[in-house]
Amino acid sequence: MMSPTKPASIFERRNLRARAAIVAAKLRDLAPYAMMELVLPGGSLMALLLWLYRRHGAALLSRRGF
C-alpha cells in the first residue's frame, strides 16, 4: 500500500528555487571556459590558465590598488 506524499511547503519551494538560481549563476560563469575548451585546440589548458588569471590575477591587482 502506498502512502500519499505530502505537498512541498512554500519554504521548501523557495529553497529549491534559490538553489536552482545559484547553480544557474555558476553555470553562466563557467560557460565561456567550456566554450573555449570545445572550440580551441589545447583549449583545456588555455581555459585553465585564463580562469586562474582572472581569479587570482584580479585579486593581486586589487591589493596593489590598480
**pLDDT for 2 beyond 60:** no
Please give the mean pLDDT across all residues of the chain. Answer: 78
Evaluate if residue 33 carries a pLDDT over 70.
yes
Q: Give the pLDDT confidence score for residue 22 in this predicted structure.
A: 92
Eight-state DSSP code of residue 60: H
- Integer CA distances (angstroms), 2 to 7, 13, 59, in order: 15, 24, 55
pLDDT tens digit sequence for 42-66? 888 888 888 888 877 766 666 666 5
pTM score > 0.85 for this model?
no
Band the pLDDT of 30: cuts 50, 70, 90: confident
Of 38, 48, 58, 31, residue with least CA distance to 66: 58
